[in-house]
Structure 1
Amino acid sequence: MKLLSILFVIFLLLPGDVMPSTEFDANCRKAYQEILSLKFKDAKTIINSELKSNPSNTLTFLLENYIDFLTVMIGEEEKDLESLRNKRDYRLQQLARGDPSSPWYLYSQADIYLQSGFARVKFGEYISAGLDIDRARRLLEDNDSKFQDFVPNKLRLGLLHSLVGTVPEKYQWAVKALNFEGTIPQGLSELRQAYKACTQFRQFDFLLPEAAFFLSFVSMNLSGDKNAILNIENEFSKPPLFQLINESPLLRYCLASMKIKTGKNDEAISLLSAYHPSSSSYPFHYLDYLLGVSKLNRLDPDANMPLLKYVAEFRGLNYIRSAYQHIAWFYFLQNNQEMYTRYMDRIKLRGNNNVDNDKQSFKDSELHIKPDPYLLKARLLFDGGYYEQALMELGKFESSDGFSNQDRRLELTYRKGRIFDEWGKKDEAIHWYDETIQNGENDPSYFAANSALHLGMIYENMHQYQKARTKYQKCLDMKFEEYNFSIQQKAKSGINRIKGL
């Protein structure tokens, strides 16, 4: 009997199949950081090292999927989506072999589904995307009930709870059928808690760039609160985020976007101009687009260069047509009509209409209506936060022949409303917004609808929630074509934020 016991122990110690593990160890942390810095080659080297030293660790499949996911989201090429799709089920099978007692076990499977869902949204596969995201949500909720202090869970659930209220109307039936609930305030609260935990607990500090990215995204696009944007922007100006900006193109993008959103265009240009990616970094061409747009908003004489670089090097789906229109505008303001026409014509030859900016650029190219130079300058200067200069251009327009055009007078009142709003002069903004709605409620342009949206935001921040709700609903009730998706989504976000108030 004793001999049998000894033989049994020896058998256990002999080399053989190793039980799979689910361990987010030092190599995984380091690879994760490299992935979020878009240094995919370096991350793959670390993953290979982990496979040699710890071949049973199933979380290498999650890391590989994250690389493929970001490649799809940033590069926007169909072949990369196809690759991600083809590898999904195999990676899920491998992750399911891991250790069920680990908080990473269900989470890792949820993240595969979530990344698949978001990637499919990017390519318009909304039904499949919804099913993937719902699978992710169920796994995350299950995992959260078991591991209530697991910060990665909070990050994902916070993002999902923020987004659920912005699902397009034609897909709301799916949200209701799946019993998926959430509000933007709930999601923001969860994201802030997760962000705070990343700054306090060393075991989760590697998640800080991701937490900052999610919190920035929701604050900028869904919160409707400029102070929320300023608060997270302030976090970027101090340790530990401040040191991470040079390493992370994603964080640089976040900070530049917040600078633009809060009227600090010069600072955004400085930040974007200082970006010099290493040869090992995956290219983030959108930063060239953002730099070109920001420089054009300042009316820089070289604003066309980053935009030309973008359309020359980017092979993805979005903002191609918008980039061509901005290049055309650059030449229009240089009085170069030949180059203006050339780049407006190129809009029809490349790109698609997935995002509102591209859709509007395509429509403008078909109409063959040249912009008014004063209104165009006012628009660009406003987008850059140069409000006084923008107002001066509107004054020039009022003294020009273009003032006799009814459609352009509607744009004039709208531009005045936007300028005074962002300038902090709310009474003047309300006046001009109301006039725009009165004169343009039945106009196919976006001016009246966006005026109603921003009136809703003003009243929401004044805690006049019934007035806010009325204006948001008015925005949703209007029939207009320009920037329809983004404006209506923001109105829905507004209604979602003040639900029950």
Structure 2
Amino acid sequence: MIKSLRLFPIVVFLSLPISVFANFDFNANCLNAYKSIFELKLGNAKAYIATEKKLRPNNSIIPLLENYVDYFTLITSDSKAEFDRLKGNKSARLDQISDDDAKSPYCLYAQAEINLQWALIRGRYGEYFNAAMEIRKASGQLQENNKKFPNFQLNFKGLGLINAVLGNLPDGALKSTLSTFGIKGNLQNGLNMFEKLVDNLPKSSYEPFYEEVVFYYAYVLTDVAHSTSAYVKTMRYTDRIADTSLLKSYLQSYVCIKNGHNEEAINILAKKPEGGVYQPFPYLDYLEGIAHLNKLDLGASTYFNRFLQTNKGVNYIKDANLHLAWIALLKGDKTAYSAYVSKVSNNGYTYNEKDKQAQNEAAAPTPVVDLLKARLLFDGGYLTKALQTLGADNVSNYSSDKDKTEYNYRLGRIYDDLGKDDLALTAYQATINQGKNLKYYFAANAALQMGKVYEKRRNTAKAREAFNIAIAMKNHEYESSIESQAKAGLRRLSN
């Protein structure tokens, strides 16, 4: 719930553009359902929807709200079984909406939203062809709706997301399928659409949709654009969302962890709203474990174990076990380490990159403790401590090419974030020289980060050279992600 909404008498919403058309009646009851969804109070949302069904069974906002409930049920549960059960709901909802008032801006918009939500979920489980078809459909519906209703601001929420994600999509099945149909995106255009929305919605009659826009914008900034402003913008834009929103806790903590604001993430998760009214969200325990381990708090095992006990989904099982293996290693318990590494190999799935990487690391040699500590501390933003951990060492102290490469890579990342560009560039170059023929991600990512340093220095030639080095490296970890970021860097240099 958005704080400022409390200032509006509910009758005001009855006269807003969001409820002009009788068969797409975003009335007070629907608005309460929508607000409950974005606080992750899905039980409350279902109750409001049930009431609306009794009062106005033909209201075509109902199937849209029901799809939101399914969407967030699947995001929070991460359950493949639930996905297989719920995806059959899509067709009937689209049929009801498409048969309704085509003169309403909500007719095409609601259909596009449902298509887009299912596309985002399908991508989690490798259903790339169906996801591509739904993105294609949603894109066409939103573009048509924007021509018919150019003042309907909500069109740009979906268009912004489609542009941003497709504009920086790694090579793979989804991208190739979309390219076949001539569907492309532009990351900067998508970011511009979101920026305009978050600035304008609070001053408009579409203010109730602000939280949803921020939800997608934070995701795009952090995971798609890898923007240096992701933390600042997310914290600023989520500030006006009420603290009773569990979604706010998730967004803020996730972005803090991804951007080295570890203590802030721990504080946010410790104060997150709790109770039976909220949808179970085991992933937050996983996040809390990550945050505590990043400061070398070995009590993080409590959170990872809780996640594994309550999680009914398919993702992060391997990664959680890998983190438990690291905790055992940091405790000096090699027997427990081996047992958890075995669980990484034998339990869970590899739908997402984190679990694929966990599988790779389980098959790799046991990490050197000092390198592991430096890695965790760096991820948490504890840069001085991370540097001190490596300070007593020298690359000659390590015997394997992997460890030598990682040592230089860790130094480079730390120096980079400390603003010591020359030292960072030296370490990155050493990483590339040592590890360019290894299967690990260190050398390719060092080239990517080197490109970003030169880009910041406005040395276009050197930046382009580094990005191309990153792209040229093949058959290593995180290849698609690193390559897509390097290609995005080249596009920035060409603008």
TM-score, length-scaled by structure 1: 0.90
Deviation at 1:291, TM superposition (A): 0.7
Q: Give the conservation status (yes or no) of the 8 Å contact 1:157–1:187.
A: yes
Aligned partner (choices 153, 174, 177) of residue 174 of structure 1: 177
In structure 1, what is the equivalent of residue 238 of structure 2? 236
Deviation at 1:345, TM superposition (A): 1.3
Q: Does the alignment pair 1:200 with 2:195?
A: no
Q: In the aligned structure 1, how far is the partner of 2:391 from the partner of 2:158?
A: 48
Question: Could you tell me which amino acid in structure 2 is paired with residue 439 of structure 1?
Answer: Q
Deviation at 1:480, TM superposition (A): 3.4
Question: Could you tell me which amino acid in structure 1 is paired with residue 217 of structure 2?
Answer: L
Q: Give the conservation status (yes or no) of the 8 Å contact 2:198–2:237.
A: no
Residue range with higher mean Cα deviation, 410-419 or 457-466? 457-466
Deviation at 1:71, TM superposition (A): 1.6
Question: Could you tell me which amino acid in structure 2 is paired with residue 174 of structure 1?
Answer: T
In structure 2, what is the equivalent of residue 117 of structure 1? 119
Q: In the aligned structure 2, how far is the partner of 1:424 from the partner of 1:199?
A: 36
In structure 2, what is the equivalent of residue 156 of structure 1? 158
1:370-389 deviations in Å (ceiling 9; x for gaps): 21111111111111111111
In structure 1, what is the equivalent of residue 75 of structure 2? 73
Aligned partner (choices 49, 56, 59) of residue 54 of structure 1: 56
Q: Give the conservation status (yes or no) of the 8 Å contact 2:124–2:352.
A: no
Query: Kindly tell me: are residues 495 and 72 of structure 1, through their superposed partners in 2, closer, same or farther at Cα, counting changes over 3 Å?
Result: farther
Q: Does the alignment pair 1:97 with 2:93?
A: no
In structure 2, what is the equivalent of residue 8 of structure 1? none
Identity among equivalent positions (%) equals 33
Aligned partner (choices 384, 393, 397) of residue 397 of structure 1: 393
Question: Could you tell me which amino acid in structure 1 is paired with residue 404 of structure 2?
Answer: R
Q: Does the alignment pair 1:82 with 2:84?
A: yes
Question: Could you tell me which amino acid in structure 1 is paired with residue 190 of structure 2?
Answer: G
Deviation at 1:473, TM superposition (A): 2.6
Query: Kindly tell me: are residues 170 and 338 of structure 1, through their superposed partners in 2, closer, same or farther at Cα, counting changes over 3 Å?
Result: closer
Q: Does the alignment pair 1:256 with 2:256?
A: no
Q: Does the alignment pair 1:440 with 2:430?
A: no
Q: In the aligned structure 2, how far is the partner of 1:409 from the partner of 1:499?
A: 32
Q: In the aligned structure 1, how far is the partner of 2:410 from the partner of 2:478?
A: 16
Q: Give the conservation status (yes or no) of the 8 Å contact 1:20–1:56.
A: no
Query: Kindly tell me: are residues 91 and 248 of structure 1, through their superposed partners in 2, closer, same or farther at Cα, counting changes over 3 Å?
Result: same
Q: Give the conservation status (yes or no) of the 8 Å contact 1:293–1:303.
A: yes
Question: Could you tell me which amino acid in structure 1 is paired with residue 312 of structure 2?
Answer: R
Q: Give the conservation status (yes or no) of the 8 Å contact 1:420–1:426.
A: yes
Question: Could you tell me which amino acid in structure 1 is paired with residue 227 of structure 2?
Answer: D
Deviation at 1:296, TM superposition (A): 0.5
Q: In the aligned structure 1, how far is the partner of 2:86 from the partner of 2:482?
A: 31
Q: Give the conservation status (yes or no) of the 8 Å contact 1:20–1:58.
A: no
Residue range with higher mean Cα deviation, 335-344 or 289-298? 335-344
Q: In the aligned structure 2, how far is the partner of 1:260 from the partner of 1:423?
A: 18
Q: Does the alignment pair 1:374 with 2:376?
A: no
TM-score, length-scaled by structure 2: 0.91
Q: Give the conservation status (yes or no) of the 8 Å contact 2:168–2:225.
A: no
3-state SS of 1:139 partner: helix
Deviation at 1:100, TM superposition (A): 1.1
Which segments of 5 or more consecutive residues in structure 2 lack a partner in the other structure? 1-20
Aligned partner (choices 421, 430, 433) of residue 416 of structure 2: 421
Question: Could you tell me which amino acid in structure 2 is paired with residue 130 of structure 1?
Answer: A
Question: Could you tell me which amino acid in structure 2 is paired with residue 377 of structure 1?
Answer: K
Deviation at 1:485, TM superposition (A): 3.3
Query: Kindly tell me: are residues 178 and 31 of structure 1, through their superposed partners in 2, closer, same or farther at Cα, counting changes over 3 Å?
Result: same
3-state SS of 2:154 partner: helix
Q: In the aligned structure 2, how far is the partner of 1:145 from the partner of 1:460?
A: 38
Q: In the aligned structure 1, how far is the partner of 2:128 from the partner of 2:461?
A: 33
Query: Kindly tell me: are residues 453 and 349 of structure 1, through their superposed partners in 2, closer, same or farther at Cα, counting changes over 3 Å?
Result: same
Count how many residue pairs are aligned between Structure 1 and Structure 2: 474
Q: In the aligned structure 2, how far is the partner of 1:301 from the partner of 1:434?
A: 34
In structure 2, what is the equivalent of residue 411 of structure 1? 406
Query: Kindly tell me: are residues 461 and 220 of structure 1, through their superposed partners in 2, closer, same or farther at Cα, counting changes over 3 Å?
Result: farther
Deviation at 1:364, TM superposition (A): 2.5
Deviation at 1:276, TM superposition (A): 4.2
In structure 2, what is the equivalent of residue 302 of structure 1? 299
In structure 1, what is the equivalent of residue 456 of structure 2? 461
Q: Give the conservation status (yes or no) of the 8 Å contact 2:428–2:447.
A: yes
Query: Kindly tell me: are residues 486 and 284 of structure 1, through their superposed partners in 2, closer, same or farther at Cα, counting changes over 3 Å?
Result: farther
Q: Does the alignment pair 1:485 with 2:480?
A: yes
In structure 1, what is the equivalent of residue 360 of structure 2? 363
Q: Does the alignment pair 1:331 with 2:333?
A: no
Q: Give the conservation status (yes or no) of the 8 Å contact 1:58–1:95.
A: yes
Deviation at 1:120, TM superposition (A): 1.1
Q: In the aligned structure 1, how far is the partner of 2:359 from the partner of 2:226?
A: 28
3-state SS of 2:23 partner: coil
Aligned partner (choices 269, 272, 278) of residue 272 of structure 1: 269
3-state SS of 2:130 partner: helix
3-state SS of 2:392 partner: helix
Aligned partner (choices 63, 66, 70) of residue 65 of structure 2: 63
Q: Does the alignment pair 1:191 with 2:194?
A: yes
Residue range with higher mean Cα deviation, 127-136 or 49-58? 49-58
Q: Give the conservation status (yes or no) of the 8 Å contact 1:106–1:143.
A: yes
Question: Could you tell me which amino acid in structure 1 is paired with residue 279 of structure 2?
Answer: Y
Deviation at 1:228, TM superposition (A): 4.7
TM-align CA RMSD: 2.0
Query: Kindly tell me: are residues 116 and 126 of structure 1, through their superposed partners in 2, closer, same or farther at Cα, counting changes over 3 Å?
Result: same
Aligned partner (choices 471, 476, 479) of residue 471 of structure 2: 476
Question: Could you tell me which amino acid in structure 1 is paired with residue 427 of structure 2?
Answer: W
1:7-48 deviations in Å (ceiling 9; x for gaps): xxxxxxxxxxxx971122222211111111111110011111
Question: Could you tell me which amino acid in structure 1 is paired with residue 392 of structure 2?
Answer: K
